[in-house]
Structure 1
Amino acid sequence: MKFGSERHEETGAIEAEKILKELKLEEKTIEKIIECIKEHRHEKPTIPVSLEAKILKIADAYSHFKKPLEIAYMAVKMGFGLEESLLWMKNKLEKDLKFLKEMSNELDIKDVIEECEKKYECFSCLLS
Structure 2
Amino acid sequence: MDWSSGVSGFGSSPAALGSVAPDRGVVAAPVLWLYSAFAAAVVSLGVASLLGMFPAAAISAWVLGGPIAIALVAAFTLNDTKSRTFPLYSASQMVPWLYRVTVAASLAAVVVSAWGIANWAGRL
Q: TM-score if structure 2 supplies the norm length? A: 0.41
Higher relative contact order (CA 8 A, sep 6+): 2
Larger Rg: 2
Higher strand share: 2
In terms of fraction of residues, the more helix-rich structure is: 1
